[in-house]
Amino acid sequence: MSADMQMVGFQVGRETFAVPIAQVHEILRVPDIAPVPEAPAHVEGVMNLRGKIISVVDLRKRFGERNLERGRRSRVMVVEVDQRKVGLIVDSASEVFRLAPSQVEPPPHAVSEGEGGAGYVIGVGKLNGRIVLLVDLARVLRRAEAPPRASAAS
């Protein structure tokens, strides 16, 4: 990594996370979301985005946040991962910033390999005295949207 990375920052709970701006299509107020029966707990449901139906994942649930109430600043970030658009509910999203490679460190082993959803944190950015967790959305969504496995009957 030699060039600065342009990132979109968002909050889930008290933590600031970031993803590459190229993955973010738009940020919306939380619209009506239709629940989907038997969906994983993290999947809030589906929404209509200008005639296209997309899945909506609540990152507060996905990241294990205790306070699940939506606030005035809650938003849906529409992102594209693996050529699919997905809505992500976050507590707020509006910050765009650049990180130089010198401002990013690999995550500590306990974060990158741990249980409880870790493994999707791919870097720790240092931005004006605060920490920003860089996440791999493909990993987050792969786990969040995985259908329940059918048990093998013998």
Q: What are phi and psi of 126, to 5 degrees?
A: -115, 115
Between 93 and 69, name the one with better pLDDT. Answer: 93
pLDDT at 110: 61
Residue-wise pLDDT for 29-74, tens only, equals 999 999 999 988 889 999 999 999 999 999 998 888 887 778 889 9
Pinpoint the alpha helices (H) of 20-108: 59-62
Q: pLDDT band for position 143 (50/70/90)? A: low
Name beta bridge partners: 130: 127
Q: pTM for the whole thing?
A: 0.83
Residue-wise pLDDT for 96-133, tens only, equals 999 999 999 998 876 655 554 457 899 999 998 899 99
pLDDT at 148: 38
Closest C-alpha among 77, 87, 19 to residue 6: 19
pLDDT at 140: 87
pLDDT at 69: 79
Which domains, from first to last, does the chain contain? 5-144 (2.40.50.180)
Tokens, residue 46: 């589906």
pLDDT at 150: 38
